[in-house]
Structure 1
């Protein structure tokens, strides 16, 4: 039994977005913007005018909608890298467990319990 491959040559894992070179190129503007949130002044500027800030970085329609929706799965599909998206999520007091919960369709408490169970 062989493992199904995507056109890209990656193993097909249902529901998984592979962050490869194509996704990196697709999400370059989004990830660059999220990286800018390392600076507190940029976080403040984003909160003051989200759409203007997105325009400054050249985000496309798909990326802008995902930002407006605060939807991690949409952001990943739009080329977002989880580590850069954590910078975005941090503006709203969210951490990687919040992101993981959203990715898996669980509550944060369910996701944390799953992580603890996996530790054994």
Structure 2
């Protein structure tokens, strides 16, 4: 057992001498990764700034469009179709008078005769 302890004691400096030699490439790799991450962080910050600028511009355009008054002729374009007349066109009575002339009165709704001639025509 004491021999093993002495061997370990003598081998320890050799192991410690090799450890820094193996860790040097790893340290360099970690440093390069840190540099890459720092560069990426700067790029992300720049992109965030550009995104914020674009969003502000879009927000301003949206606000300008919402508060823009309607064009002067826009209301005329909406009302270009005339509304139908409330009164249907008057239809003249189809009856002939005793003198042989056509009656001058308007025909009743859903009929081709005026009220007087409807009564006469129904008898």
TM interval, shorter chain, is under 0.3
TM-score under structure 1 length normalisation: 0.16
For CA contacts below 8 A with separation 6 or more, give which structure has more relative contact order.
1
